[in-house]
Homo-oligomer: A and B are copies of this chain.
Amino acid sequence: MDRTDCERLDAECKLAGCRARFSLPEGVLYFDGNSLGALPGTTASAIRRTIEDEWGAGLIRSWLDADWFFLARRAGDAIAPLIGASEGEVAVSDSTSVNLFKLAASLLRRGGAGRKVVTEAGNFPTDVYILEGLVDLLDRGHALVRADPARIADEVDEDTALVVLSHVDYRTGALHDMEAIAAHCNALGVPAVWDLCHSAGAVPVELNRWNVDYAVGCTYKFLNAGPGAPAFTYVSRAAIGDYRPAVTGWFSHAEQFRFEDGYRAADSINKCLVGSPPVLSLRAVIDGVATFDGVGMEELAAKSRRLSGLFIELADERLAEHGFALASPRDPARRGSQVSFRHPDAYAVARALIARGLIPDFREPDIVRFGIAPLYVRHVDIWDAVDAIEAVMSDGAWRDFRTDVREAVT
């Protein structure tokens, strides 16, 4: 295997043309599409039209004339096929954290006999913080349990009120068996909320087929919707009838513009909306998700697994001697769309790579994470990344980046 082989694999790849859907800077090897997806080629002009024609010229009329009112649902319906959901089951609004709060508050309020709120050790911090704060706010004797992610089913029992898990571990890329865990929860009647931030648009997700009722996820990673773009909420058609919103803003009202004194919830996924959506950022979700047009998730995930497999293979050969220990699962069926390594100087190494034009992410305490957005990452990029890492480690220059001041972003 050499670089020419990678070029050949790219030439043969049916999805290679998707890269042209993005505006990528020259001279950058981008492996952080799972923190911030690349800019689609159509977004800038779409947002310009939204600003100049819809806002500037249309003014208030554009809420109806330019369909701003329906963007939350339109964006949701565009995301639905990427996560195995149906039309009308997904809405886009607010941040992932707020959406998780909304679902968890509603589900804990519904109240069964269960006392435990089960999440997993090492879950993305904001998910755990939100649950911690909610348990404290409700003050009804719930106990937050950080279960071993490999033993979730052992922890979820009759005494469980709610389960909140991330499909893909943000640090290692380990992938839960969502179908099996959902079946276990469903058998016990325990509601489970899945965080799809690191799986939507990167690995196959079949919410309907796996009988999942609740999920949230962000749009700014693999869905390419731009920095901080609003997040999605999924409630299955089976669950939406009994779902009672806890954050009852006017966008979730049955007849928003009747301006009634009393609250009546909508009878649709609009139950999960709250206030006026940030239209510019929400509009960008449409173009972000459109980068998946005509692409099957199975085919895309297969490409992702080939790329991550190649990365692991080359790392075994060339990076192990430089202190890189694989943190991601070797089994491609259990791996999300990333390759992570532990390294004792992970932060300095990540900074040195960025200075060289290879952009991974650093994650506390010792992880260098390479996100693989299979719509635009190529086989040659994997080759060049390993080349770059080897070069940075060999010349020792990375040691100049040792520092105590740690800054990182998701």
Contacts and interface: CB of A to CB of B under 8 A. Distances in A.
Contacts of A280: 47, 226-227, 229, 278, 280-281, 284
A364 interface: yes
A80 interface: no
Interface of A: 23-25, 28, 30, 32, 35-36, 38-39, 43-44, 47-48, 51-52, 54-57, 59-64, 68-69, 94-98, 101, 105, 109, 121, 125-126, 128-130, 132-134, 136-139, 146, 218, 220, 226-231, 245-253, 257-263, 274-282, 284, 354, 359, 361, 363-364, 406-410
Contacts of A132: 248, 262-263
Among A69, A130, A247, the one with the most B-chain Cβ atoms within 10 Å of its Cβ is A247
Contacts of A354: 61
A276 B43 contact: no
A60 B359 contact: yes
The 8 A-B pairs of least Cβ separation, nearest first, read A95-B275, A133-B248, A278-B281, A97-B275, A97-B249, A126-B250, A227-B279, A39-B56
Contacts of A35: 60
A231 to B, nearest CB: 7
A91 to B, nearest CB: 14
Given A218-B276, A359-B59, A407-B64, A133 B246 contact: yes
B277 A245 contact: no
B279 A226 contact: yes
Nearest to A34: B60
A249 B130 contact: yes
Among A47, A129, A226, the one with the most B-chain Cβ atoms within 10 Å of its Cβ is A129
A227 B55 contact: yes
A84 B166 CA distance: 43
Copies in the complex: 2
Contacts of A48: 44, 47-48
Given A47-B47, A105-B137, A281-B282, 18 more contacts: A24-B56, A25-B56, A44-B51, A47-B280, A55-B227, A59-B359, A64-B409, A94-B95, A95-B274, A95-B277, A98-B247, A126-B249, A126-B251, A128-B262, A129-B250, A226-B280, A227-B280, A278-B281
6 contacts: A23-B52, A25-B57, A36-B59, A39-B56, A47-B47, A126-B249
Given A35-B60, A44-B48, A280-B284, A98 B274 contact: yes
Contacts of A138: 137-138
A323 to B, nearest CB: 22
Among A60, A139, A253, A279, the one with the most B-chain Cβ atoms within 10 Å of its Cβ is A60
A280 to B, nearest CB: 4
Nearest to A40: B56
Contacts of A24: 56
B30 A59 contact: yes
A98 B408 CA distance: 27
Contacts of A406: 257
Contact of A257 (B32, B260, B364): B364
A62 B262 contact: no
A407 B257 contact: yes
Given A226-B280, A227-B279, A279-B228, A249 B59 contact: no
Contacts of A105: 137
Given A59-B359, A359-B61, A129 B253 contact: yes
A129 B249 contact: yes
Contacts of A55: 36, 39, 226-227
Contacts of A36: 55, 59-60, 63
A408 B284 CA distance: 25
A24 B132 CA distance: 48
A353 to B, nearest CB: 12
A102 to B, nearest CB: 9
